[in-house]
Structure 1
């Protein structure tokens, strides 16, 4: 995810012109300027009249959301060490969750609560494949309580609130709806590591650099996702709460989370692929290639030929995965979500495939995804 570096003058100029892009990430103030975009804590303490249901959710959650300040990250503008920032929130009495990309490459991480309190932290675990990180905190204010992670993925159309610190402006909340679910989000990240995050929620609440790592909450005050990125044009993304519920406990206990792994290159079967492979209809995923010495090696077959159609390569002859462990697989996003939320390394599962025009079932023992993307 491309990071954004701004000083106060450029932020104000862009805001005045309405040019601020909705691209979330880790806002990185240049260390040599010493500029901070923190809001006034007295604003939070004073009486505010009126309000709404959104106000009630804000008041219930804001004390548990923190500003993340990362020290010692590489500053590409100066070639030296700089600072980064993002958001985080409490998940238990002494741990916060944020994005892995927010803290990646940092030497020290401090947090600031909305009441003005600062605390030092210790990084206890990260996972690049879900873009999640957990920090143990030295201090938690009395008024800050852990936020609850939802057990299920929210329905499309559900109202959500994005809470965090865009551009370091503390305690910001924006409102929108869930625009889509079960997305797979491919990004490069600050360190240039290509990866794809599964089970991602799409939403339209405004997010900007500094929102990353903050909570996306519903009107019950439950966290439905950890804000990861924004793509502009009112599109934001968040790592789902169900995935977060799986990953975070492992990061706290072991410092790592082990993702299941098949070892294939795949592609969703669209109309063109279906026609070129004499399939009755689109649907499923075709195995384009099988990596050597992986769980799929000797079990699944990749394509052995390809044709070009409208400038795009079309794989020919690979296995088409239709189900895994009785879960239908209509596309690659679904396969990614099923693997991530339902399975673990070491599981042996039946895989229904179409091979050479015939339906068959093979047994596949899942491996552990390599630690580096």
Structure 2
């Protein structure tokens, strides 16, 4: 997707997202310890039972099963088990087919990071060699290409809007190498900041209570209509798992396919919410907006926005004296999550965006030309705008 079409894409897709923040994640998932190593681990019973699984699916009598059975039979043929060989050993994850004009499979960056060899296996059991077309550490997404796909591995459709909280979803993948596994739940939250391998939280994340375990990473989280809500990224907590949103994936994946990389818009500041204590310490009329804590030297906001200093107030260290951001790109700023989502979904590197701040008791609007987010080694961490 052209860098100039993000705003237009969101309008056409009907996305109602207004804001967001930074991102981060890791395979298997970051919370559960990364890509599961299989070199010395026994294969779970049923892992290689592809033919039996396929026969059982095809033999399901009409009227039996449930709505979950129906969505499983619709989606599962397009889901692959991914096995990777690295210098450190072997690992596994999941992926699924999307339509980008070829045999493209989506997975997580952390599933294929540093891979020397990648193979896919769909439900017919055939091992297919895959090429990593591109990978992005900040969104934890990767695009793979295979020369040919099974006939029933049809591209899955993305959900073109933020899902409603409470909507039923299912995760399909290969936890612990158990191929073609399904778990069900609901969308528990949206616009979350989720862990990423890049150290900066991924914005616009989807939270679900569907069970997610090592090996699920990279698989689809889908609605009961079979539309992809997100790319499963992390899990391991009790009834808490996360997926990279379809809205973000729809921007990142086409560029990974086309160019092998994705450049994120970058403001170069660290921010904190304006709490009642921060508002009182800064003589603000109300607790709203985000206070600028630091401005990255040489970054896009350097010389345009002003950082703060820390002071102890009522026993707590709070930022004092910096700009308070109350508007970004024409939209009111109410949370770091909202700001980060807007930055990620509706702006591009090189865009000049208006930023409205409260400074020295007055309200003013300044223009900042966004840059490209630097590599992780030079990033400024959680709470810092991409």
* Global fold match (TM > 0.5): yes
Shift of 1:306: 2.4
Residues 70, 106 of structure 1: 8 Å contact kept: yes
Aligned to 2:139: 130
CA distance, structure 1, for counterparts of residue 44 and residue 129 of structure 2: 18
Structure 1 counterpart of 2:326, from 309, 322, 326? 322
Aligned to 1:163: 172
Structure 1 position 68 matched with structure 2 position 82:
yes
- Within 5 A, what are the aligned runs for 1:1-373? 23=32, 25-29=34-38, 31-33=39-41, 35=43, 38-41=47-50, 42-46=52-56, 47-49=59-61, 50-74=64-88, 82-92=89-99, 93-187=102-196, 189=197, 194-307=199-312, 309-310=314-315, 312-372=316-376, 373=379
Residues 26, 195 of structure 2: 8 Å contact kept: no
Q: 1:301 to 1:121 in 2, by over 3 A?
A: same
Aligned to 2:20: none
Q: 1:215 to 1:73 in 2, by over 3 A?
A: farther
Range that drifts further, 32-41 or 226-235: 32-41
CA distance, structure 2, for counterparts of residue 39 and residue 24 of structure 1: 24
CA distance, structure 2, for counterparts of residue 67 and residue 24 of structure 1: 19
TM-score, normalisation: structure 2: 0.85
Shift of 1:138: 2.5
The structure, 1 or 2, with the larger RCO (C-alpha pairs under 8 Å, 6+ apart) is: 2
Shift of 1:186: 3.2
CA offset digits 1:319-366 (Å, max 9, x no partner): 111111112211111111000000000111111111112111011111
TM-score, normalisation: structure 1: 0.88
Please, which runs of 5 or more residues in structure 1 have no aligned partner?
A: 6-21, 75-81
CA distance, structure 1, for counterparts of residue 223 and residue 87 of structure 2: 33
Residues 324, 357 of structure 2: 8 Å contact kept: yes
CA distance, structure 2, for counterparts of residue 144 and residue 340 of structure 1: 31
Q: 1:73 to 1:55 in 2, by over 3 A?
A: farther
Query: Which secondary structure does the structure 2 equivalent of 1:195 belong to?
Result: coil
CA distance, structure 2, for counterparts of residue 39 and residue 353 of structure 1: 59
Shift of 1:208: 0.5
Range that drifts further, 155-164 or 299-308: 299-308
Residues 26, 233 of structure 2: 8 Å contact kept: no
CA distance, structure 1, for counterparts of residue 28 and residue 156 of structure 2: 28
CA distance, structure 2, for counterparts of residue 321 and residue 43 of structure 1: 55
Shift of 1:286: 0.8
CA offset digits 1:147-183 (Å, max 9, x no partner): 0111111011111111111001011111111111111
Q: 1:254 to 1:175 in 2, by over 3 A?
A: same
Q: 1:71 to 1:36 in 2, by over 3 A?
A: farther
Please, which runs of 5 or more residues in structure 2 have no aligned partner?
A: 1-24, 380-386
